Amino acid sequence: MTETKKHCGYVAIVGRPNVGKSTLLNHILGQKLCITSRKPQTTRHTLLGIKTEENLQMIFVDTPGIHTNQERAINRVMNRSAASVISDVDVVIFVVDRFEWSEADEYVAKYLGNNSTPVIVAVNKVDMVEDKSALLPHLQFLASKVDAAALVPLSALRKTNLDELETKIKAYIPEADYIFPEDQITDRSERFLAAEIVREKITRQLGAEVPYQVTVEIEEFRAEQKITHISALILVEREGQKKIIIGTNGERIKKIGEQARADLQSLLDCKVMLRTWVKVRSGWSDDERALRSLGYMDE
């Protein structure tokens, strides 16, 4: 009996901030791996999500949103991170938001035009489009903007048309042995995922007040019997931001901790003791040395 040939390849998910890239990856994988919120710049690190089924392993690379504004070091680092991925993958999914086409989308399209990697345009959030007849002219418009191998209207949140997207992706995955074990779903450590979960809860809790100068550093991650002890240091740039995160009588930081602990217990499948505290480290988001020490430049 001949063994079925295996296919394995890399798929980059790119787009401007806040178009639903992380939600798309979570639903393709069938579990939450990337943090999501309605705020731009939620994703800051390149993260691999691995899906293995039958004779196929697809390695998805969720990239930070590509920014037109590169004034701060963190935005420059995130753009470098996204750009370096594009030329090293087998296919790119360019996620756009319904009928929106902004200067930022144009910027991403130019990035992609300089590469020979095939591009599939995923038109996200079509469940929110009332007049479906308007989709066809918009797809024609997108075809004039991007040299696309395919255009797929979908809803990442509602899981609509994800099968169609995966079928299009599979056509570009080369014959090759698997790179990762079949049961592995990411290249990131539990420690990294813990920091991201805490940051997600901060981003979601703070609404319009959210300071983008917030990052999370895990100072302790220790499994002891059936309990995992995690100490999370929340770094901000100004004293005022520290007060916002702590909240009146510590109510907000308590809520952030409760929500993060619930997600962590689900991720780690055990009881979690989570300790959080907030510290001011001014200027970290515009300091390449600080960004390196916080793990933003090791990719």
What is the CATH classification number for the domain harbouring 137? 3.40.50.300
Last residue of a domain, one of 140, 170, 200: 170
84 falls within a domain? yes
184 falls within a domain? no
CB 7 within 8 A of CB 174: yes
Question: What is the C-alpha separation between 272 and 181, in angstroms, rounded?
Answer: 27
Q: What is the pLDDT of residue 43?
A: 44
Whether residues 201 and 246 share a domain: the answer is yes
- Domain holding 261, by residue range, is 190-293
Q: What is the pLDDT of residue 230?
A: 96
Q: What is the pLDDT of residue 175?
A: 97
Answering whether pTM is above 0.75, one says no
What is the CATH classification number for the domain harbouring 289? 3.30.300.20
Give the total number of structural domains in the chain.
Answer: 2
Whether residues 57 and 195 share a domain: the answer is no
Q: What is the pLDDT of residue 132?
A: 87
Whether residues 14 and 142 share a domain: the answer is yes
Please report how many Cα atoms fall inside a 13 Å half-sphere around the Cα of residue 205, on the Cβ side: 21
Q: Is 135 exposed, middle or buried (0-12, 13-18, 19+ CB in 10 A)?
A: middle
1 falls within a domain? no
Whether residues 95 and 165 share a domain: the answer is yes
Whether residues 54 and 99 share a domain: the answer is yes
Maximum Cα interatomic distance, the chain, rounded to a whole number of Å? 68
Whether residues 163 and 236 share a domain: the answer is no
Tens-of-pLDDT digits for all 299 residues of the chain?
Answer: 456 899 999 999 988 877 888 889 989 998 777 655 454 444 445 678 999 998 999 999 887 665 455 555 545 555 565 566 787 899 999 999 999 998 888 888 887 888 889 999 999 999 999 888 999 999 999 999 999 999 999 999 899 999 999 999 999 999 999 999 998 888 888 888 899 889 888 888 886 555 566 888 899 999 998 899 999 999 888 888 899 999 999 999 999 999 999 999 988 889 999 999 999 887 766 666 666 655 554 44
- Look at strands 215-224 and 227-236 and give their pairing: antiparallel
